[in-house]
Structures are given as structure tokens and as C-alpha cells.
């Protein structure tokens, strides 16, 4: 468990060979080779054991699972876990990784590198999931003349769902959490830097398995993977289950790392009452990831065991209970929506207070909101099961507990509105996205009431009303916050300033495209269009055509974003970013852009609240030997 590196770790090593594109791929190539060797060993031994027991040596799903169980550690060790950590378990010295640009393709422990790795990976997955959404909307333009068959549609819909869920789980926490939590609390790194790298390198196998599953017939049970279908469909389902169990492990270890970091690594004087609000969001989220993710892993493991080990968790004919899956699955997957949205809330509040040039309104109540959501998150899961046939006595209590969640959520919302009230709003791109998030989430939250109430949910369950509702909370809430964070922290991460004009164009196109697409979906849902069906009644063609056209518009709205990133990162003439372009008070802006490996030239000492804009004499932090932060940044916008 010990995870300290020798002092003078990474930065000491000198590259022995000039960095070439080919040499950058060595760790990944080694990981793939070790994974292949592991797979052959695991699958081969299983075959031998089966042959010895007089069974058919090859059983695809069992052999694949056993092969993967060895291939996964093989991949991790090969990609760098062995060199940088594993050697220590055998009493040997660990080796250093590359320090130049190749570190982005290696098992690197710097939290800033890992943050960038998460961001780039999950933006890539976001655009993959978006392309699949375009396919879905292409199919649904017409109920008859459709490009995908029913089977292909189910696979595409399932893949879109799980890819976007993965993006929602890990893009904000994995990307911005890793990069900025240590900076915001004045630490030099996460509590367990090597565990952090391990969490990231668990992600590529997830993506590979999900795509590889298409070669095994895909899986048509949606991202929820309910049995009995998921016990009986194509073998691609097994790859899905292995992928998501792996992803769960990554999420658990990440949550653990954030909790220990936030509890123990805060700079002197960074009391809980002075913690930046984004850090509070990540803190509450990490508890959910740590505790609840195991239930998802358990549910998926049970499906896997039913398929490969002959158990009967969900085989009703043998005494199994398919409803058990739904209970366990939603016991994680409802709290998971707070994994999506709480870091987004924290990020939006962060941006709103800096760009309103006012102290964060009702800071303590906002913190109470995060902790209140955390406390209630475990007792509302069955609102996904109102029509599933569960015991009737559960309906009323779950209705009430679900409605109760709107109280802590409302506190966070009021904190945002109170901060905006009478503020001097600075409408740069990050602020526009944060305001867009507040607007969208209001619609997402209000429509959620109809799904939390049993009488209305009975009619709305499994219609496009639900689809529109959760897209409003996840895209409208979290993904808008993701882009707010991208523009807000882009100068810090890259040392360059993006083009504000292209960023604003991105915002307005995305905001209009998003709202038009999903408002129309509420309408078709209210008119009875079922979700997850490859076709629909002909009289709904008009609104579906409109939804699809606006959906394509939403897809196109990301082109200005990509162009903006490309021209800023690739062009030589890009405007360099100063250390603190927003004249913000929090710690990440009190160091260079991008920060040095140890984050600050001197370990900061915290002296006051981070958001006291306009409070005379208030200082947030002092960097010994450098100066005070906070007071001098006033009036520089």
C-alpha cells in the first residue's frame, strides 16, 4: 500500500535517447505485449484445466474472462507499473519515466499529466459517443426508411449510452479533479501518485473492450444491462461486463485517492471552511465513488457468474430473481448521477464567483448542499423501478426521499443565484457556459419531479421524456460545466490563451442546438414515444425530424471548439497566457501557466477565504518569499 516515491523522483532522470515519436509508444507497446502474453496464459491454463477435468477445452466466455483477468495486470505492469512500482515489491530500485512530452504516453505520476491524460481520453470518447448519437438521430429521422437495422440500432444505442456514462463519470473528476484539486488545496501532488497513474491506465482497456465487444456480437441490453436479456444475449455482453468492472475499479481507486488527498494534503491554514467549492464537490463525489461503485461491480459480476459459472442469480426458472439486479444496479447508478453532477456544480460555482467578482453566496449552505446530497444519495435508488413490480410499500418512501434531494440541490442552486445577484458579471466564455449550466439544470431538475412522483412516472417511464430529462441534467448540467472548466483552466493548463470569439461562437451554437434538440424530445415523450426502440409511430415523424436536424446542429456546434483548440495549440503565434489571466484569488492562479512540477515555488500558507472579492484587507494565501495573494489581484481585469 505504501506509495511514497523516493525524494527527487521523476524530474531527476535524464532522457537517454532523443525523443522520437516511435520511442514515445514503447510503454504502450510493452503493455500490449504483456497483455497478450497474460491473455494467452490465462485462457490457456483454463483450457488445460478444463481438458484435465474432461470438459470441452474451449468455452469462449469463460476462457475470455480468465484470459482478461491475467491480461489486465499484464497490461498495467507492462505499461509502467512494473518499472515504477512493482520492482519495489521485490526490493529492487524503481526506474524513472520520461520527463519530456513522452510522459503523456507513459505511466507518469505527476497529477497534472494525469489530468491531461484523462481530459484528452475522455474528450475523445465524448466525440465518439457524439458520433454514435448522430447515427441514432439519423436512424430516427424516419420510422420506415432507416439506415440501421433493429439489431445494429440496439448495439449503437447501447454503446452510445455506456461511452457517455463513462465520460460523465470521469471527465470532470478525472481531468479537472486530478489537475486542480492538489493545486487548489496547495499540495504538491495527490496522496498516492502511483495509484493515480494506475487509475488512469485502467481506462484504455475499458475502451478497447467496449469496442472489441462489437466483434463478439456487441451487446443490445443498453448501458443498464438488465437480466434476463444480459444473461442470454451475444458474448459481447461479457466484454461489456469486464470493461465496466474494470472502469469501476479505476473509479474506486480515484475516489480513494481524492479523499486521502483532501483530508491530509491541504496546505497549512486551508481549513474545511476555506476549501474551494470545487474541492468540496470532488470530496462528496469521491465518497460515492468509493462506497457505491462496488454495488455496480457486484451486479455485473453476478451477471458474469450466471453466464460463465452456472450460478442462478437471475435465472427465474432456477429460483433466481431478475429484480435483484435492478436493486443492486440502481443502488449504485442513482448515486452515480451525483458523481456526474456534483463536480460540475462545484466547477460552475467556482466560475460564477470568480466572474461575478463577489464572494460565493452562502458558502456554508452550498457545502451543506453537497453533503446533503451525499447523505441522501443511498436511499432513493428505487425511483427507477416504480413500474418494475417491486413491493408496493417501497413506492411512497422512495417518492418522498427522492423529492427530499431537491432541498440540498436547491441550496447549491441558490448559492449560484445569490452570487450572481448584483454581481459585476464578466461574460467571458467560462462564465457563459456556467450560466448555461444553471439554466439547463433548472429544466432538468424541474422535469425530474414528474419522474420522482409515482403517478406521473407510471405514464412517463421508458419514454423520451426520461431521455430528455437525463440529457438535460448530464449534458445540460455536467457537460456545460466541463466546457466552462475547459475554457476557465485552458490558459493554466497550456500556457496559451484560446480565441474568445470562437469560444463564444461555440457556446451559442451548443446552447441553442442542445435546448432545441432536447425540448423537442420532451414533447415526443409526452406523446408516448418509447425510448430504446429502433422505430416509432408514423405520426411522430415531424417532431423526430426536427429533433434530428437540431441534433446534427448540436454536433456541428463542436467544430468551433475543435478549431479553437487546434489553432491555439498548434499555431506558433498563439497568444501566451499570463499566470493569472482572470485575476482570480484561488491558489492555482498564483503559480506559472503551466505550473512547475512541484506546483508552487514555495509551499503556500492559507490566511483567509478564497472568494473574498472586494473584501478590504482579505488575503487568501501567502507564498513564503513571494508574497500575498488576493489583495493585489483586485482591479486588474
> Which residues from 453-512 bind another protein, rule CB under 8 A?
495
Backbone angles phi, psi at 214, to 5 degrees: -65, -30
Q: Which is nearer to another protein, 110 or 220 (CB)?
A: 110
| Binding residues for another protein restricted to 9-28, rule: CB under 8 A | 9-12
Please tell me the number of Cα atoms within 13 Å of 501 on its side-chain side: 1
| Binding residues for another protein restricted to 390-429, rule: CB under 8 A | none
Of 7, 52, 422, 570, which one interacts with another protein (CB under 8 A)? 7
Element (H, E) at 484: helix 480-494
Residue count, binding to another protein (CB under 8 A): 83
Find out whether 262 and 282 touch, Cβ atoms under 8 Å. Answer: yes
Choose from another protein, Cu ion, none: what does 457 bind? Cβ within 5-8 Å by kind.
none
Shortest CB 577 distance to another protein, Å: 9
Find out whether 138 and 555 touch, Cβ atoms under 8 Å. Answer: no
Angstrom distance (rounded) from CA 125 to CA 63: 28
Region of 292-300, 411-419, 511-519, 534-542 interacting with another protein (CB under 8 A) = 292-300
Strands (E), 65-112: none
Angstrom distance (rounded) from CA 574 to CA 56: 63
Shortest CB 492 distance to another protein, Å: 11
Shortest CB 365 distance to Cu ion, Å: 24
Of 236, 335, 555, 595, which one interacts with another protein (CB under 8 A)? 595
| Binding residues for another protein restricted to 89-128, rule: CB under 8 A | 89-91, 109-110
Region of 129-137, 183-191, 398-406, 556-564 interacting with another protein (CB under 8 A) = 183-191
Q: For the chain, how far is it from start to end, CA to CA, in angstroms?
A: 46
Q: Which is nearer to another protein, 559 or 602 (CB)?
A: 602
Of 8, 22, 422, 570, which one interacts with another protein (CB under 8 A)? 8
* β-bridge partners, 606: 621
Choose from Cu ion, another protein, none: what does 189 bind? Cβ within 5-8 Å by kind.
another protein
Choose from another protein, Cu ion, none: what does 298 bind? Cβ within 5-8 Å by kind.
another protein
Angstrom distance (rounded) from CA 433 to CA 428: 9
Q: Which is nearer to another protein, 95 or 632 (CB)?
A: 632
Query: Does residue 597 bind another protein (CB under 8 A)?
Result: yes
Query: Does residue 581 bind another protein (CB under 8 A)?
Result: yes
Element (H, E) at 629: strand 627-629
| Binding residues for another protein restricted to 298-327, rule: CB under 8 A | 298-299, 302, 305, 309-313, 315, 318-321, 324, 327
Q: Which is nearer to another protein, 189 or 457 (CB)?
A: 189
| Binding residues for Cu ion restricted to 283-342, rule: CB under 5 A | 334
Shortest CB 328 distance to another protein, Å: 6
Q: Which is nearer to Cu ion, 137 or 334 (CB)?
A: 334
Q: Which is nearer to Cu ion, 334 or 461 (CB)?
A: 334
How buried is 547 (Cβ within 10 angstroms: 0-12 exposed, 13-18 middle, 19+ buried)?
Answer: buried
Shortest CB 336 distance to Cu ion, Å: 9
Angstrom distance (rounded) from CA 181 to CA 122: 18
What DSSP line would sit under 178-230, residue for residue? HHHHHHHTT-SS-SSHHHHHHHHHTHHHHHHHHHHGGGGT---STTTT-TTHH
Output the CA torsion 161→106→72→178 (10° steps): -50
Q: Which is nearer to another protein, 146 or 311 (CB)?
A: 311
Angstrom distance (rounded) from CA 618 to CA 508: 36
| Binding residues for another protein restricted to 208-267, rule: CB under 8 A | 252, 256-257, 259-260, 263-265
Find out whether 338 and 373 touch, Cβ atoms under 8 Å. Answer: yes
* β-bridge partners, 623: 627
* β-bridge partners, 200: none
Query: Does residue 5 bind another protein (CB under 8 A)?
Result: yes
Q: Is 520 left (phi over 0), alpha (psi -120 to 50) or beta?
A: alpha
Shortest CB 309 distance to another protein, Å: 6
Residue count, binding to Cu ion (CB under 5 A): 1
Helix (H, G, I), strand (E, B) or coil at 571: coil
Angstrom distance (rounded) from CA 564 to CA 197: 29
Q: Which is nearer to another protein, 447 or 633 (CB)?
A: 633
Query: Does residue 3 bind another protein (CB under 8 A)?
Result: yes
Choose from Cu ion, another protein, none: what does 163 bind? Cβ within 5-8 Å by kind.
none
CA torsion sign, 594 to 437 to 531 to 145?
negative
Choose from another protein, Cu ion, none: what does 334 bind? Cβ within 5-8 Å by kind.
Cu ion
| Binding residues for another protein restricted to 606-635, rule: CB under 8 A | 623, 626-629, 632-633
In the chain, helix, strand, coil percent, each to 5?
70, 0, 30
Residues that bind Cu ion (CB under 5 A): 334
Amino acid at each position: 500500500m505504501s506509495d511514497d516515491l523516493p525524494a527527487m523522483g521523476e524530474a531527476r532522470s535524464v532522457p537517454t535517447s532523443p525523443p522520437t515519436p516511435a520511442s514515445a509508444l514503447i510503454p504502450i507497446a510493452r503493455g500490449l505485449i504483456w497483455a497478450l502474453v497474460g491473455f494467452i496464459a490465462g485462457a490457456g491454463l483454463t483450457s488445460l484445466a478444463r481438458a484435465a477435468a474432461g470438459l470441452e477445452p474451449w468455452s469462449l466466455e469463460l476462457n475470455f474472462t480468465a484470459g482478461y483477468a491475467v491480461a489486465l495486470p499484464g497490461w498495467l505492469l507492462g505499461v509502467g507499473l512494473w518499472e515504477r512500482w512493482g520492482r519495489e515489491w521485490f526490493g529492487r530500485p524503481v526506474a524513472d519515466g520520461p520527463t519530456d512530452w513522452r510522459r503523456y504516453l507513459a505511466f507518469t505520476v505527476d497529477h497534472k499529466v494525469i489530468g491531461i491524460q484523462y481530459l484528452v481520453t475522455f474528450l475523445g470518447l465524448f466525440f465518439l459517443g457524439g458520433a454514435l448519437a448522430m447515427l441514432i438521430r439519423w436512424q430516427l429521422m424516419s420510422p420506415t426508411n432507416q439506415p440501421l437495422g433493429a439489431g445494429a440500432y440496439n448495439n449503437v444505442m447501447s454503446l452510445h449510452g455506456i461511452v457517455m456514462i463513462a465520460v460523465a463519470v470521469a471527465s470532470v473528476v478525472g481531468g479537472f479533479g486530478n489537475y486542480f484539486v492538489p493545486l487548489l488545496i496547495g499540495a504538491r501532488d495527490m496522496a498516492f501518485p502511483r495509484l493515480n497513474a494506475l487509475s488512469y491506465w485502467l481506462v484504455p482497456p475499458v475502451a478497447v473492450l467496449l469496442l472489441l465487444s462489437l466483434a463478439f456480437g456487441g451487446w443490445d441490453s443498453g448501458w443498464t444491462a438488465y437480466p434476463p436479456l444480459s444473461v442470454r444475449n451475444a458474448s459481447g455482453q461479457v466484454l461489456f461486463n469486464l470493461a465496466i468492472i474494470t472502469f469501476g475499479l479505476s473509479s474506486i481507486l480515484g475516489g480513494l485517492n481524492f479523499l486521502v488527498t483532501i483530508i491530509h494534503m491541504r496546505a497549512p491554514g486551508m481549513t474545511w471552511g476555506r476549501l474551494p467549492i470545487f474541492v468540496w464537490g470532488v470530496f462528496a463525489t469521491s465518497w460515492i465513488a468509493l462506497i457505491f461503485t462496488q454495488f455496480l461491480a457486484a451486479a455485473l459480476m453476478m451477471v458474469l457468474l450466471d453466464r460463465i459459472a452456472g450460478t442462478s442469480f437471475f435465472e427465474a426458472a432456477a429460483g433466481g430473481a431478475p429484480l435483484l439486479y435492478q436493486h443492486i444496479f440502481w443502488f449504485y447508478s442513482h448515486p452515480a448521477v451525483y458523481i456526474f453532477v456534483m463536480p460540475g456544480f462545484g466547477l460552475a460555482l467556482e466560475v460564477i464567483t470568480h466572474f461575478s467578482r463577489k464572494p460565493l453566496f452562502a458558502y456554508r449552505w452550498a457545502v451543506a448542499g453537497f453533503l446533503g446530497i451525499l447523505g441522501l444519495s443511498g436511499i432513493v435508488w428505487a425511483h427507477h423501478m416504480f413500474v418494475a413490480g417491486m413491493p408496493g410499500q417501497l413506492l411512497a418512501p422512495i417518492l418522498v426521499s427522492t423529492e427530499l434531494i431537491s432541498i440540498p440541490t436547491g441550496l447549491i442552486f441558490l448559492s449560484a443565484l445569490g452570487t450572481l445577484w448584483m454581481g459585476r458579471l464578466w461574460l467571458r466564455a467560462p462564465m457563459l457556459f456556467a450560466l448555461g449550466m444553471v439554466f439547463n439544470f433548472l429544466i432538468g431538475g424541474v422535469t425530474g419531479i414528474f419522474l420522482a412522483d409515482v403517478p406521473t412516472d407510471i405514464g412517463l417511464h421508458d419514454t423520451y421524456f426520461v431521455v430528455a430529462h437525463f440529457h438535460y441534467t448530464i449534458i445540460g448540467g455536467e457537460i456545460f460545466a466541463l466546457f466552462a472548466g475547459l475554457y476557465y483552466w485552458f490558459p493554466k493548463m497550456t500556457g496559451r490563451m484560446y480565441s474568445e470569439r470562437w469560444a463564444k461562437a461555440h457556446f451559442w451554437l451548443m446552447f441553442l442546438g442542445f435546448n432545441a434538440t432536447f425540448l423537442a424530445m420532451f414533447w415526443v415523450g409526452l406523446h408516448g414515444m418509447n425510448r430504446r426502440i429502433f422505430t416509432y409511430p408514423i405520426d411522430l415523424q415531424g417532431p423526430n425530424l426536427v429533433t434530428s436536424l437540431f441534433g446534427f446542429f448540436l454536433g456541428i456546434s463542436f467544430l468551433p471548439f475543435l478549431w479553437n483548440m487546434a489553432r491555439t495549440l498548434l499555431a506558433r503565434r498563439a497568444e501566451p497566457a499570463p499566470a493569472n489571466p482572470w485575476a482570480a484569488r484561488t491558489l492555482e492562479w498564483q503559480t506559472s501557466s503551466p505550473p512547475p512540477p512541484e506546483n508552487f515555488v514555495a509551499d503556500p500558507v492559507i490566511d483567509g477565504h478564497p472568494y473574498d472579492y472586494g473584501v478590504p484587507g482579505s488575503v487568501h494565501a501567502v507564498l513564503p518569499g513571494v508574497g500575498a495573494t488576493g489583495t493585489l489581484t483586485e482591479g486588474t481585469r
